[in-house]
Amino acid sequence: FIIDDDTLFVVNCTKLKVWDVAKELGFEAPRKMPAVLAYHGRSFYEFLVLVRELSITFGKSIPWVILSAKYGFLAPNEVIENYDVTFNQPGSISDEELAKQVEFKEINGRRLSLFKRVYVYTRNPIYFEKACRALRNANICIQLASAQAVTYIHIRSDRKYP
């Protein structure tokens, strides 16, 4: 497990969001919210714990973004609104737009296109494929499917993506 200045983590968005939880509890959440506070799926919480532990272990902030089927790559503090879209549905972001975002979006002052090692925390192969294809400048793209001692790792280093 290598984490250095060339490492970026990506986590998928989740269907369960703060607006759903608020509705279930009988109140209304603000219409807009930072992405890090909007997603409430179990895998997202697992990822947040993993990143926190890695930050403590390595003694530095770990660069990470959220891959949203609607918005594309999101910094944790980017403000979003409620949505219910998955990839390959009307309203989802295109592969071309994801590739464009990689060229201009930044995390911690660094363009996404400059990261050489990408860890994608997802159990969904579509999110893994989309992230790796968009972040095509990376030398290696690794799927992490569980924070439990990183029990499943899928390595994609064949660079078959355009």
Three-class SS state of 81 = strand
For the entire predicted model, the pTM comes to 0.89
pLDDT confidence of residue 101: 98
pLDDT confidence of residue 146: 67
pLDDT confidence of residue 58: 87
pLDDT confidence of residue 156: 43
User: CB of 150 within 8 A of CB of 132?
Assistant: no
Q: What are phi and psi of 147, to 5 degrees?
A: -80, -15
Q: Is the pLDDT of residue 160 over 90?
A: no
Q: Is the pLDDT of residue 154 over 50?
A: no
Three-class SS state of 7 = strand
Confidence category of residue 157, pLDDT binned at 50, 70, 90:
very low
User: Rounded to whole angstroms, how far apart are CA atoms 32 and 107?
Assistant: 21
Three-class SS state of 108 = coil
Q: Is the pLDDT of residue 151 over 50?
A: no
Residues 92-140: tens digit of each pLDDT: 999 999 999 999 999 999 999 999 999 999 999 999 999 999 999 999 9
Q: How many residues does the chain have?
A: 162
The total of other beta-carbon atoms located within 10 Å of residue 148's CB is 9
User: CB of 144 within 8 A of CB of 119?
Assistant: yes
Residues 50-88: tens digit of each pLDDT: 999 999 988 999 999 999 999 999 999 999 999 999 998
User: CB of 25 within 8 A of CB of 125?
Assistant: no
Residues sharing a CB contact under 8 Å with residue 52, sequence separation 6 or more, in sequence order: none
